[in-house]
Amino acid sequence: MFPIVNDTVIFGIITFCLAFVFLTAQSQHPFWKKFYGVVPTLLLCYLLPALLVNLKIIAIDESKLYFVSSRYLLPAALILMTLSIDLNKIARLGPKALLMFFTGTFGIIIGGPIALMIVSVILPSAVDGVGFDAIWRGLATIAGSWIGGGANQATMLEVFQYTPSKYGSMVLVDILMANIWLAVLLFGVGKAERIDRWLKADTSQIQALIEKVSQFSEKVNRTPQTSDWVILTGIAFLGVGTAHFFAPLIVDLMALMINEDSSLGIFESLKSNFLWMVVIATVFGIALSFSRFKSYEGVGASKIGGVFIYILVATIGMQMDLSKILENPGLLLIGFVWICIHAALLILVAKLTKSPFFFLAVGSQANVGGAASAPVIAAEFHPSLSSVGILLAVFGYVVGTAGAYFCAILMEIASTI
């Protein structure tokens, strides 16, 4: 009977988990009020599916739910959540958004070799391995994931030829440490005002953007009809279909331009179908924001997009299999030190430049979490801000391969010191 492997049943369970979280979050019971005063709802949306996998209640070895959510629901959500975007206001947010993004990237690049050197002193056995078993080769795949995403990670695996049978341990470090840091950021979202006061950050431009979007929502708000939601669904999935149609064509074009002999080889990640799918969906949504469809925010476009995002969140949580957490303590220590360096550098630069916590959180997740979680955490501040997360995350795909390659070279040097 257990574990459950049927995707239809698993989908029913994880969507009920989401319903349970929001039902209890709305409860007036003292216990739930105190509970959600400490634990963010979004964090619980990740953790409940993870616990189901960890307790062997469900099995995801053959599951296609994450694939469907990331390929269909994510682009649809991006379209729906960018209908009311104001690009001029976003442009006026200033250079701090890019500064925090590149700070996060730099933190990953230097964090890898520094973590490798530190752990080699504390636990030398953790960095054992020669040839294709060399730990730095495996860590290069994590750098690819944390700067860009899955496409960059696969590129690093191919470039540095880390032993495939040992690759699973690197995936574990990648997922576990990224989600631990995500959990920290989610806790911070609930205390953003207090953190911004400590950073002495000026959040007036962000607040102005949120207020303008809120005013626009109130202006166009109306009682939704079934026809409105049918139109919204049709528009969104037309965009999804458009993204899936053109993405492979662009990938083929990139494949002609970028090959092993090409000087553009470092941009291998530009041949990612997922990357172009996300880019096209985002452009589609932004284009609609200049049309009359922008008014459909008034019937809940971003709210429907939010539902899709939460389903994606649950499927991401399902990937957090913690059952093997203690099998590779040395690698986990490297990952922990690495992500701490990334976090510390972001906090330092945010403090020195008085950058808002929003830019810190989104800049970090645009690197470490990519297109899946950057818009999620941005939308936790306000749905209208999700586009900032996705645009930075897409940029992460572009610089991911070059950044990860440089990081890998530094780790190779560090491993010989």
What tokens appear for 338 in the block? 């690495």
**Residue 158 confidence (pLDDT) above 80:** no
The 10 Å Cβ neighbour count of residue 242 is: 17
Residue 46 banded pLDDT, cuts 50, 70, 90: confident
Q: Are residues 150 and 222 in the same domain?
A: yes
What tokens appear for 354 in the block? 């008085």
**What is the gyration radius of the CA atoms in the chain, in angstroms?**
21
Task: Name residue 58's beta-bridge partners.
Answer: 4
Residue 411 banded pLDDT, cuts 50, 70, 90: very high
Residue 262 banded pLDDT, cuts 50, 70, 90: low
Between CA 250 and CA 255 the distance in angstroms is 9
Q: Answer whether 235's CB lies under 8 Å from 106's CB.
A: no
Q: Are residues 53 and 95 in the same domain?
A: no
Q: Are residues 276 and 176 in the same domain?
A: yes
Between CA 214 and CA 88 the distance in angstroms is 16
* DSSP result, 300-312: THHHHHHHHHHHH
What mean pLDDT is reported for the chain? 84
Between CA 43 and CA 24 the distance in angstroms is 14
In sequence order, what are the residues at sequence separation of 6 or more whose Cβ sits closer than 8 angstroms to the Cβ of residue 229? 299, 300, 304
Task: Name residue 4's beta-bridge partners.
Answer: 58
Q: Are residues 107 and 45 in the same domain?
A: no
In sequence order, what are the residues at sequence separation of 6 or more whose Cβ sits closer than 8 angstroms to the Cβ of residue 36? 24, 25
Burial zone of 309 (CB within 10 Å; 0-12 exposed, 13-18 middle, 19+ buried): buried
Predicted confidence (pLDDT) per residue in 223-260, tens digit: 889 999 999 999 999 999 999 999 999 989 888 877 65
Find tokens 């953003």 and name the residue. Answer: 192
Q: Are residues 51 and 154 in the same domain?
A: no
When divided into structural domains, the chain yields a total of 2
Q: Are residues 43 and 171 in the same domain?
A: no
Q: Domain for residue 197, yes or no? A: yes
pTM above 0.75, yes or no: no
What tokens appear for 358 in the block? 């929003």
Nearest CA among 218, 226, 136 for reference residue 417 = 136
Does a cis peptide bond (omega within 30 degrees of 0) precede residue 30?
no
Between CA 307 and CA 66 the distance in angstroms is 15
Q: Are residues 47 and 118 in the same domain?
A: no
Find tokens 């993004």 and name the residue. Answer: 101
Q: Are residues 172 and 193 in the same domain?
A: yes
* Domain limits for position 111: 76-416
Q: Are residues 137 and 52 in the same domain?
A: no
Find tokens 């925010």 and name the residue. Answer: 297
Amino acid letter, residue 186: L
Q: Domain for residue 71, yes or no? A: no
Domain end residue (candidates: 64, 98, 113): 64
Q: Domain for residue 70, yes or no? A: no
Q: Domain for residue 69, yes or no? A: no
Q: How many CA atoms lie within 13 A of 123 on its CB side?
A: 13
* pLDDT (0 to 100) of residue 91: 64
Beta-sheet strands, E only, within 324-402: none
- As a whole number, mean pLDDT of residues 303-321 equals 84
Between CA 376 and CA 365 the distance in angstroms is 9
More confident residue, 92 or 158: 158
Between CA 135 and CA 377 the distance in angstroms is 31
3-state secondary structure of 408: helix
Q: Are residues 229 and 331 in the same domain?
A: yes
Q: How many CA atoms lie within 13 A of 66 on its CB side?
A: 17
* pLDDT (0 to 100) of residue 268: 61
For helices 96-122 and 386-416, give the axis angle rounded to 10 degrees: 30
Nearest CA among 398, 335, 403 for reference residue 371 = 398
Q: Are residues 28 and 112 in the same domain?
A: no
More confident residue, 286 or 7: 7
The 10 Å Cβ neighbour count of residue 143 is: 30
CB-based burial, 42-55: b 16+ in 10 Å, e otherwise: bbbbbbbbbebbee
Choice among 45-49, 89-93, 318-322, 389-393 with the minimum mean pLDDT = 89-93
Q: Are residues 191 and 46 in the same domain?
A: no
Find tokens 């041949």 and name the residue. Answer: 271
- As a whole number, mean pLDDT of residues 271-279 equals 79
Q: Domain for residue 87, yes or no? A: yes
CB-based burial, 155-186: b 16+ in 10 Å, e otherwise: bbbebbebeeebeebbbbbbbbbbbebbbebb
